[in-house]
Amino acid sequence: MEFSQALEQHIQAHDYDGLLTLFPYAQFLGMQCQGFGDEFVFVLPARESNIGNPTLPALHGGVISGFMEMSAMIHLMLAMQTTKVPKIVDISIDYIRAGLQKESYVRCQITRQGRRVANVNIVAWQDNRRQPIATARAHFLID
């Protein structure tokens, strides 16, 4: 089956975890997606392989940023109901506090969507949504 056909099937069936299996990096991280109507929460389970600082233990900053970027890309695809994978133009991440070795969550919000470019705000947290571990702004080429 072709990639775009598989994407379309998962999107139409609201099979978000199946959709994530089509992206090797999302699979490597162990990402999951929970849909609540037109809102999505992405989940990063606690895994040894995602640890960057074993002393704390804390998530690797690259894992946090990759998780946030993948979440924004998938969120954009689901919101636009498209099988075209958006291309990242740039992303700016603010690390606020250490991401400890526990389940992490991401919520994305499209702040502007034009014909060619979309802007997405991303918030990552662990125990409390009001205490983010990181925030980001990303720009995607959607043409």
Quick check: 134 pLDDT over 90?
Answer: yes
Write out the E strands in 37-130: 39-44, 51-53, 58-59, 87-95, 104-113, 117-125
Cα 15 from Cα 49, distance rounded (Å): 25
Average pLDDT over residues 99-122: 93
- What number of CA atoms fall less than 13 Å from residue 101's CA on the CB side? 12
Show the domain range for 83.
3-141
| Length of the chain counted residue by residue | 143
Look at the chain and report how many structural domains it folds into.
1
Kindly report the CATH number assigned to the domain that includes residue 54.
3.10.129.10
Q: What is the pLDDT at residue 1?
A: 64
Confidence of residue 12 (pLDDT cuts 50, 70, 90): confident
Residue 106 and residue 41 in contact, taking contact as beta carbons nearer than 8 Å: yes
pLDDT in tens, 71-84: 999 999 988 888 88
pLDDT in tens, 54-73: 888 899 999 999 999 999 99
Average pLDDT over residues 6-12: 86
Cα 8 from Cα 82, distance rounded (Å): 8
pTM over cut 0.95:
no
